[in-house]
Structure 1
Amino acid sequence: MNSAIRKVFNDVWDVEVPGQPAPELNDDTVLLESGLDSLGFAIFVSTLEEELGYDPFTIAEDAYYPRTFGEFVAFYDKYRPAV
């Protein structure tokens, strides 16, 4: 899951911030400090839904806003549909 999310982030980064290398993401990376703006994050989450086939933000009963990349990946893992 981590590598799939990281790949989508890098793909979105390349389109939204052309000519600049994507930041190194680790579990402690604060999402608001990653360099993507709010539109970039909306595109990121939308693209993840297309790639993964689900959106945990609509599945979760309570509103949750992951602060770090590690929390973001864990949130997607938690709501991953059973295969």
Structure 2
Amino acid sequence: MTMRSTIVAEIEAITRDHDKTMPPLTDDMVLMDTEFDSLCFALLVARMEDHLGVDPFGTMEVADLPVTLGDLVALYDRAAVANAA
């Protein structure tokens, strides 16, 4: 499973569990323009930490936060590579 497919699967599961509606999950989808609220995002980060064993947000600056789904996938891709090294 790719990082993108893992993130998308988790987003779909979380939104389904919390009765949220999401637009099509494209790389240019702006995360703040969806029903994926802060609780949903916290759940996603926790689940991804379970998958990767790392939380890329722990050492980030606010200016570096992902804006789009593509940014989020890239962030986790980088974290996975850094964790494997």
Q: TM-score, normalised by structure 1?
A: 0.82
> Does 63-72 or 9-18 show the bigger shift?
9-18
The separation in 2 between residues aligned to 1:17 and 1:53, in whole angstroms, is 28
Matched positions, count:
79
Is 1:65 the counterpart of 2:54? The answer is no
Tell me, yes or no, if structure 1 residue 30 matches structure 2 residue 30.
Answer: yes
Residue identity matched to 1:57: F
Identical residues among aligned pairs (%):
37
Q: Which runs of 5 or more residues in structure 2 are unaligned? A: none
Structure whose residues are more often helix by fraction: 2
- Segments of 5+ residues of structure 1 without an aligned counterpart are none
Output the amino acid matched with 1:70: G
Amino acid at match of 1:16: H
Secondary structure at the aligned position of 1:79 is classed as helix
Write out the 4+ residue segments of structure 1 that deviate beyond 2 Å after TM superposition: none
Q: Which residue of 1 aligns with 2:9?
A: 7
Q: Output the CA distance in 1 between the equivalents of 2:76 and 2:24.
A: 20
TM-score, normalising length: structure 2: 0.80
